[in-house]
Amino acid sequence: MTSDILPGGIPASTDLHEASTLPPNAVRTVARRDYGWRLIYHPSRAPANAETDAARALCGLERRPVAAIEHIPRLDPYADPGATIIDITCA
């Protein structure tokens, strides 16, 4: 177990996949970035409003509201077919 802290005051030991509130088979990557969060997931395996719910949950870890959700184009569409990349900016 680590005592390291991610930007935003989140313990590095936090299970970010679980914190996203998405089903485990939908989540590919959850990463903390300078601007907020990057989430890669499969929309076909996620419930309606998955992006909004995940954004609220991840920004909520920092006790901040969601400022923006931006779709990022896939550079290699064959890397993980069907996956979507979003950047979540917290206010």
Q: H/E/C letters for each residue in 8-58?
A: CCEECCCCHHHHCCCCCCCEEEEEECCCEEEEEECHHHCCCCHHHHHHHHH
Rounded Cα–Cα distance for residues 65 and 57 (Å): 9
Using a cut of 0.85, tell me whether the model's pTM lies above it. no
The per-residue pLDDT for 5 is 65
User: Domain locations in the chain?
Assistant: 15-90
Q: pLDDT band at residue 76, thresholds of 50, 70 and 90?
A: confident
Q: pLDDT band at residue 8, thresholds of 50, 70 and 90?
A: low
**pLDDT tens-digit map of 13-72:** 666 667 778 888 999 988 888 888 999 999 999 999 999 999 999 999 888 999 999 999
